Amino acid sequence: MDKLLTAIVDDHPIVVEGLRTLLKNEHNLKIVGSFYNGADLLHYMQTNPVDLVLLDLTLPDINGMDLCKMIKASSLKTIILILSNHTERSIIVQTIQNGASGYLLKNSSLDELRDCISASVHGNICYSREVMEIISRPTRNELRSAPQLTRRERQILSLLAEGNTSQAIAQDLFLSPLTVDTHRRNLIQKFEVKNVAELITAAHQQKLL
């Protein structure tokens, strides 16, 4: 099997050197470059193939989540594994949506990194043990019991989810826009969210849409 041409991207030199030392004896990897920002990696990839990128999310120039998209736009076959200290579930999910094949915390073991590299080569999404625990926890909206809605509130919720304005909903249901706005405020309060976008997300999570 050919060695994976591997790039390390992290703005901390000590982390980069640590990874290079850790991985230098891996029979299936060849470290072809170390980069301290996203722009240098993208410039390198314009003229050099890279099979695997070990990527930190916090870089001085480009957000790591955005960099995932840029790498994939440059080279769709390049595998991206995130090595980060960020433990927010939303960030983990977003990086995968943006093209990463895996997410590990920086305290992961070498065996976990090996396993993730192997899984990603075979087209699988992989996570370190701690990240698996984070993404398997239910979100606050999933834990919260579904609020009790009136028939009218359900109607308005459904129409809001379709992208209708208060004015359009008012015309559709033969109500005043003021009444629709009142129902909308009540829905936002019942779901304990900040706006209509969060309201619709919460309603979907609680299977009310």
The predicted-structure confidence for 28-73, as pLDDT tens digits, reads as follows: 999 999 999 999 999 999 999 999 999 999 999 999 999 999 999 9
Q: Across the chain, what does the average pLDDT equal?
A: 92
pLDDT greater at residue 56 or residue 1: 56
Residue 57: CA count within 13 A, CB half-sphere: 20
Report strand pairing: 79-84 vs 4-9: unpaired
Contact 120, 103 (CB under 8 A): no
- Per residue in 92-138, pLDDT tens? 989 999 999 999 999 999 999 999 999 999 999 999 999 999 888 76
Number of neighbours of residue 21 by Cβ within 10 angstroms? 9
What CATH number should be reported for the domain whose range is 142-205? 1.10.10.10
Residue ranges of domains in the chain: 4-136, 142-205
Long-range contacts of 199-202 (CB under 8 A, 24+ apart): 199/157, 199/160, 200/157, 200/160, 200/161, 201/141, 202/141, 202/144
C-alpha–C-alpha distance, residues 85 and 88, integer Å: 9
Quote the pLDDT of residue 126. 94
Q: Which fold has domain 4-136?
A: Rossmann fold (3.40.50)
